Each structure stands twice: as C-alpha cells, then as structure tokens.
C-alpha cells in the first residue's frame, strides 16, 4: 500500500511538471479546468498553483462566469492566492454574474458569497485588511441587485404572458361561443332559417 502511494506520488509529480511547462500558454477554459483538477487532487505542486494564479490574473478579463467560479473554488480550497487576485476574481465574477441569466446567477451569488466567507476564514488576521479596504460585501450586494433585476424582468414577462393568455382565453371563448352557435344552427334547420331571416332584415 505504501509503495502504491509512492508510485502515485511519483506519477503525479511527473504529470504536474509536464503541466507546468504549458501553464503560461493556457487559455481561460484551460485555467478553469486545471483549477478544478488541482482541487480534486490530494497533493499538488505549489509551483503549479502559483503559475496557475499568475496566468489567471492575466486572463481575468477574458474569463466567463463558469471559469471564474472554478477559479474561485480553487482559491478557497487550495489557498496561497495573493489577496489582490482574490479581490479581482470576486469583482470579475460579480461583473459577469450581473450580466448572466437567472439560473446561473443564483449559483454565482452562492459562489461569490462562499468565496468571501472562505477567504475570511482561511486567511490569517494579518491578511484580512484588504477585505475592509476593498468593497467585497458591496460586490456581493451588487450581484444580488443584478439578480433581483433579472428576476423582476422575468416577473414582468410572466405578467405580460398571463395577460396575453387571458386575452387569448377571451378570444378562444368567443370562438367557442360562435362555434357552438354555428353548430346549433347547423343542427336545427329551423333555427338556421330564422337566423337567415334576421340577417336579411338587418
């Protein structure tokens, strides 16, 4: 068992060393994928993590919400991230979340809030000053406001759809009434004759 663990550690070391060579060329999707992969490992190389963070800092403006969420998860699970990068990731996540649809936005609010709480709990007190200086809570609030705006839009759309449906039902009821009347006229020849007579008089 001990030998198997050493072998796994050796293979993992070789794999990570191979990855390290390519990290500076990574694109946003690859950064997000590697972040999730490192979180899943029980052992990781600190150099790989530092290089990943450095590459992520360069690519933040290009990263979409799911990639930012993967990176946030990596920051909170593995640590070692510069406080400035944490703030930048939170801000980028919030900006992306405000402009996304409702379903993903709900998860994003949870991700961002969890990242803030995790970083607060994981960092020593001497490194928490940035949380007071940076408007981290304001970012979460802004994200929530964006969610409420989207939700209100959905409510408005649903209300319009309801009004439309009510109008449709009125029209449908009218058609049913007319169809019923027409059926009665067709079924009853005498009623049809009376109806035609009324039409001629009008």
Q: What does 127-139 look like in DSSP terms, one character per residue?
A: G-HHHHHTTHHHH
* CA 39 to chain CA centroid, nearest Å: 20
Q: Is the pTM of this model over 0.85?
A: no
> What is the C-alpha to C-alpha distance for residues 100 and 42, in angstroms, rounded to an integer?
33
Structure-token pair, residue 24: 């500076």
Is the pLDDT at 188 greater than 60, yes or no? no
**What is the reported pLDDT for 16?**
75
pLDDT, average across residues 112-138: 59
For 12-56, the pLDDT digits (tens) are 777 778 888 888 899 988 888 888 777 776 556 788 888 888 999
**What is the reported pLDDT for 173?**
60
Cβ atoms 70, 36 nearer than 8 A: yes
For 62-108, the pLDDT digits (tens) are 888 778 877 877 777 776 777 778 778 777 776 676 565 544 555 55
Alpha helices in 101-135 (DSSP H): 102-122, 129-133
**What is the reported pLDDT for 138?**
62
Cβ atoms 22, 55 nearer than 8 A: no
Cβ atoms 92, 60 nearer than 8 A: yes
The confidence band for 110, taking pLDDT boundaries of 50, 70 and 90, is low
Structure-token pair, residue 55: 């590459």
């Amino acid at each position: 068992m001990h030998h198997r663990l050493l072998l796994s550690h050796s293979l993992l070391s070789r794999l990570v060393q191979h990855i390290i060579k390519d990290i500076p060329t990574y694109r946003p999707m690859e950064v997000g994928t590697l972040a999730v992969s490192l979180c899943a490992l029980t052992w990781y190389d600190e150099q790989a993590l530092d290089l990943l963070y450095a590459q992520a800092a360069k690519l933040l403006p290009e990263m979409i919400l799911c990639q930012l969420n993967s990176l946030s998860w990596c920051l909170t699970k593995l640590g070692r991230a510069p406080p400035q990068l944490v703030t930048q990731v939170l801000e980028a996540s919030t900006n992306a979340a405000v402009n996304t649809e409702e379903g993903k936005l709900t998860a994003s609010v949870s991700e961002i809030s969890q990242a803030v709480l995790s970083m607060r709990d994981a960092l020593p007190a001497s490194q928490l000053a940035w949380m007071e200086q940076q408007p981290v809570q304001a970012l979460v609030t802004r994200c929530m406001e964006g969610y409420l705006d989207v939700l209100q839009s959905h409510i408005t759309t649903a209300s319009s759809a309801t009004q439309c449906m009510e109008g449709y039902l009125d029209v449908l009821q009218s058609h049913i009434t007319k169809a019923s009347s027409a059926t009665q006229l067709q079924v009853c020849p005498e009623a049809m004759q009376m109806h035609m007579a009324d039409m001629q008089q009008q």
